[in-house]
Structure 1
Amino acid sequence: MNIGILTSGGDSQGMNSAIRAITRTAIVKGHKVFGIQKGYQGLMEGLFIPLDLRDVGDILHRGGTFLQSARSLEFKEATGQEKALAKLREANIDHLVVIGGDGSYHGALALYERGFPTYGLPGTIDNDIACTDYTIGFDTTVNLVVGLINNVRDTSTSHERTSIIEVMGRGSGDIALHAGVASGADVIIIPEVEWSMDEVCQVIHEGFNRGKKHGIVVVAEGAASGEHVAEEIERKTGLEARSTKLGYVQRGGSPSAFDRILTSRMGDKVIECIESGISGVAIGIEGGEITSHPLKEVLSKKSTFDVKLYEIAKNLSK
């Protein structure tokens, strides 16, 4: 069989590792693999390159995606999807594996509903895909953010100020929540939970009254602006506060051991699905087991928010 692979949407650490796992597993089992450059845009343009074992060597530890990614408004339309299908048939591709987030999954589902066998791997740092406990790149990003918060904490202590760290996560606060717990943040502000500026200021003020030399607030971009939170803390408490927006640095860097192992297992699973005649599915990890669910089911659900972990975070910040 001929298997195509593309990466779409925002890049995440571990995408290269996933491409490597799919390619090598497929080739070992006697299949041919083609990389599709620049996501769905490249699919419509027929940017296909054959991949062999050597082509995916020395990429396990590299962040980003060597196939590159691009957003495409044209592909969202029926004419764009038909153009993509024509290119797949022209290249004799039998199956298409899409590595990306919610938007990428919608594209894969659209092709599947038009009769083409597609598969999804959850490549997004936000951890906002349903039917999987973790997405590719999330663990790496959390570890990276924790390291950066540790660095900011040093200067915050030196100047006895509060640092507000704004992290990615428009609709999901998982990066903020997990990084906040791991770094001992005083306050974690996320879109899933209502919050008040008065409560934030109270927590910070009480901390300094207990003798703390610094304060740490982690904010998900979808919940608030870090700059605004810093301004309000200064205005309401009289304490110095500074905001740091981490931005796209969170998507870069070498994937963690967890993400490398996760993608290796997911790559094996998707080839298993292909060989078993199961298509139109997304691969995930649940309770430590690699699983698959129909793309339509995954897209109809919301990712699960860990309420218990949030409660733990509030207790530990006292």
Structure 2
Amino acid sequence: MLRVRNRHLLQLLPLLLTAAAATTRATAETTSTTGHGGDESALVAFKAKISHHPGALASWNQSTSYCDWEGVTCSKRHRGRVVALDLSSRGLDGTVSPAIGNLTFLRSLNLSVNTLQGEIPPSIGSLRRLRRIDLSQNMLTGAIPSNISRCISLRVVDIDTNKGLQGSIPDEIGSLPYLTYLVLANNHFTGAIPSSLGNLSRLATLSLSTNYLQGPIPAGIGNNPYLGFLQLAANDLSGLLPPSLYNLSSLYYLSLGTNKLHGRLPADLGKSLPSIWRFAIGGNLFTGPIPLSLTNLTMLTELSMEDNNLSGTFPG
């Protein structure tokens, strides 16, 4: 037990404790405004990899707080932590710095519609709070890092229209429990569609069109109960359509044209897809009669079945 014998020290002790507490609070506040985890340093490193930015990053200097820099949003709850970076359509040229992975509180990353080059840094796997990533319409190259699966909070992944992106679609994407939107169209992806995508129980939109994907459509795709938009056109897919696709009451957009899919359309097709308004299977190898039940598709506004081996005419 501590005994204070000096009476003057005893009188000063409350003041000393108060001063120490104030110093601790001031230190914490200073740390939070200058960026936990090096958020400001990460942004500075990001800017260093941008070779051209026509005024977009002019505010990114020491004269203002980095939380006030253009495109940067900081948390109100966790002071000084960057939660969103939106630099879409800013004319950015350069590469994406690996330092982006140090923004560990980031929830939204939007770098779309620029001319960014180079690879997607694997460091994005550190962004466990990330909910949305949009890198569409750039000039990125290489493969999608497989450790994107560590971004366990992801809801939206939009990486379409980067003609330099190639390789296979990582199986690990199928382990993202909250993913609702996956768009990887207009790239150079090869290989098969991962069967793991059938595990995405919240998936509502899937677009993999205009790539070089081969093989069958995974049977599990039709087991996603919320799937409404499915676009797989302009690939090299083959095989039969999974029967589960014909029983998706949520499906409103189905685009499978320009592939090598084959088989017969079920006679009760018009009864199993009540929400469908676009049904596009042209440019495949389907055979057999055109189902008379198509007249039951009351929501149907776009139908494409040409360039197959179907017989009969669309029932009027």
> Normalising to structure 1: TM-score of the pair?
0.29
> Normalising to structure 2: TM-score of the pair?
0.29
